[in-house]
Amino acid sequence: MNYPIIDDHGFKFPDMALLPEVEHEERFEDTEESNKIVAEAENLFTKTNSSKDVFLWKLEELIEHTKTQMPLHEGEQDIIKGWRKKMGRQFDYARNHGWNFHNKISNNKHFKQIAEDGVTFGTSDIVQKIKDVLAPDIDVLLEKEDGISPIGAYDRANPKLEQRGQVVQDMLNEEFEKQGILEAAYTYTGRRIDVKKVTLHVSYPTDSHIYQQYRDINLKSSSHPKTTNLHIDPTFNILKGAFYLTEVTEEQGPIWFVKGSNRWKHDRFESLCGRANSVANYLEDELHRRAMFRLPKRLRCNYQFGRNLLDGTPEQKIITDKIIKLTTDKTGNFALFDPGFTMHTGGNVDKGIRINLQLQLK
């Protein structure tokens, strides 16, 4: 293979119940019966002709078994119901093995970089033109006061830019066509894709959305691991882009990626659970954690995992040794990346203001 799958990367997704701050909270201890039910559920997932309804019934059987150790608390059933719904959505979706780029040959530099590293960088000179178009929208977000963002939402973002967003979308597609980005995206995915959505973000050091997972714990802490908010997206039928509208250096908190993680091989069943868990439950309080911690250990995988990698640990070092950052003074002002496989983080702003666009190519 030109871009081989990496089996020996050494990384294992952490058990979300093992964060030191929650070690006192109750969690399910695996049993022979739970192991049997999990094995049956995995078998249903791996069989190409199996029914999603039977798979979901098996999950319900598992939840019933966990009640022998952990009786349901008031409100917990609704959280579990939401989790089952997300698992159902992923059942068919996560059977997709991803993009088939590993044996492809191309002279396009951006394809080579995204295939090798999971991300490619570039520099564009249309930043001011885009800022001129979006000036009214930028001003609105700059004036928004600090607060606690709702779970699943950003502090300051506008995904509905309407006519001005369409103008910027067209500008970006023209620019990316010139720079070979769209050709790289086609070669990588096998699909003719381009920018279909633009979201405007304004980020400050006071942002709260990056601490949504384990929110009640994070609000009591003045320090957090450097990998906080590191994640893999739950979906993988798109590519994403980041496009800076301000200068962003190492000091300010750039968006960053784990080099080559798009080619890391992970257990397929745990990947199913990790993708579903990352959006089904943010573990933001003890009740939500109880609903997650009642699952057997193997099902507690989560693709929003950065908060669990403690500073200075060998597990975190596997990640930090491979960080590559998007900075305007070194790598460029835009990136194209594979969000459903490449580990990445929005970057916690430490100083000043960062204004950027998040792009979806599909």
DSSP string, 158-170: ES--HHHHHHHHH
pLDDT of residue 184: 98
Examine the pLDDT at 128 and tell me if it is beyond 70: yes
Contact 232, 343 (CB under 8 A): yes
Contact 34, 65 (CB under 8 A): yes
pLDDT of residue 70: 98
Contact 239, 185 (CB under 8 A): yes
Write down how long the chain is: 362
* Six-digit token string for 296: 């057997």
pLDDT of residue 3: 97
Lowest mean pLDDT among 84-93, 108-117, 191-200: 84-93
Examine the pLDDT at 94 and tell me if it is beyond 90: no
Cα→Cα distances 5→1, 14, 112, Å: 8, 21, 15
